[in-house]
Structure 1
Amino acid sequence: MIVEPKVREFICTTAHPTGCYENVKRQIAYVKDKGTIEGPKRVLVIGASTGYGLASRITAAFACQASTIGVMFEKPSNGKRTATPGWYNTVAFEKEAEKNGLYAKSINGDAFSLEVKEKVIEMIKEDLGQVDMVIYSLAAPRRTTADGTVWASSLKTTGEAFTEKSLDLRNNTIVTKTVEPAKDGELEGTIKVMGGEDWMDWMDTLHGAGVLSENAVTVAYSYIGPKLTYPIYYDGTIGQAKRHLTKTAEKINEKYSDIKAYISVNKALVTQASAAIPIVPLYFAILYKVMKVQGTHEGCIEQISRLFHEKLFVEKPVTDEQGRIRMDDWELSDEVQDKVMECWKNVTTENVAELSDIDGYWQDFYQMFGFHLDGVDYAKDVDLEVAIPSLEK
Structure 2
Amino acid sequence: MSERVIAPKSRGFLFLDSHPGGCRQLVDEMWQAVPDPVTVGSEGPVALVIGSSAGYGLAATIAGLARVGIRGIGVCFEKAPARRTGTAGWYRTAATARLAQQHRRDMVFLNGDAFSDAMKEQVADLIAERFAGRLDFLIYSVAAPRRTDPDTGNVYASVLKPVGSPHTTKTLVFDESGSPEVKEVTTAPADGDDIDQTVAVMGGTDWERWITFLADRSLLADGFATAALSYIGSPLTAAIYREGTIGAAKSHLEATARTLNERLNKSLGGRAVTSVNAAAVTQSSTAIPGIALYVGLLRGVLGDAMVTPIGQLVELWDQLTGARPLDLDDEGRIRLDTWELDPAVQNAVTERWNTATSDTITELADVDWFSDEVRRLYGFSVPGIDYTVAAEPNIPWPRPTI
Q: TM-score, normalised by structure 2?
A: 0.93
Per the alignment, residue 77 of structure 2 pairs with: 73
SS for the counterpart of 2:305 is coil
Structure 1 residues 40 and 315, CA gap change in structure 2 (3 angstroms): farther
Shift of 1:228: 1.5
Q: How many residues align?
A: 389
Name structure 1 gaps, 5 residues minimum. Answer: none
Structure 1 residues 95 and 332, CA gap change in structure 2 (3 angstroms): same
CA distance in 2, matches of 1:282, 1:37: 40
1:166 aligns with 2:171: yes
Per the alignment, residue 57 of structure 2 pairs with: 53
SS for the counterpart of 2:224 is strand
1:26 aligns with 2:29: yes
Q: Deviations over 1:7-58 (max 9, x none)?
A: 1012111100011011001111111x43339996111000001111111111
Give 2:58's aligned amino acid: L
2:310 pairs with 301, 313, 317, which one?
A: 301
SS for the counterpart of 2:89 is helix
1:201 pairs with 200, 209, 217, which one?
A: 209
1:97 aligns with 2:105: no
1:126 aligns with 2:129: yes
CA distance in 2, matches of 1:131, 1:273: 28
Q: Deviations over 1:312-345 (max 9, x none)?
A: 6345301111000111100000111010011111
Q: TM-score, normalised by structure 1?
A: 0.95
Per the alignment, residue 371 of structure 2 pairs with: 362
Name structure 2 gaps, 5 residues minimum. Answer: none
Question: Which shifted more, 106-115 or 376-385?
Answer: 376-385
Shift of 1:253: 1.2
Q: Percent identity?
A: 38
Question: Which shifted more, 126-135 or 271-280?
Answer: 271-280
CA distance in 2, matches of 1:226, 1:333: 10
Per the alignment, residue 224 of structure 1 pairs with: 232
Per the alignment, residue 148 of structure 1 pairs with: 153
- Contact 2:203/2:250 (CA < 8 Å) preserved in 1? yes
CA distance in 2, matches of 1:148, 1:114: 12
Per the alignment, residue 222 of structure 2 pairs with: 214
SS for the counterpart of 1:82 is coil
Give 2:156's aligned amino acid: W
SS for the counterpart of 1:390 is coil
SS for the counterpart of 1:157 is coil
Give 2:72's aligned amino acid: T
2:293 pairs with 282, 298, 302, which one?
A: 282
- Deviating above 6 A after TM superposition, structure 1's stretches of 4 or more consecutive aligned residues are 37-40
| Aligned alpha-carbon RMSD (Å) | 1.8
CA distance in 2, matches of 1:40, 1:239: 35
Give 1:169's aligned amino acid: F
CA distance in 1, matches of 2:118, 2:8: 34
Per the alignment, residue 137 of structure 1 pairs with: 141
Q: Deviations over 1:271-297 (max 9, x none)?
A: 1111111112111110111121xx421
Q: In the TM superposition, what are the counterparts of 1:193-342 in structure 2 within 5 Å?
A: 193-256=201-264, 257=266, 258=268, 259-292=270-303, 295-309=304-318, 313-314=322-323, 316-342=325-351
Per the alignment, residue 87 of structure 2 pairs with: 84
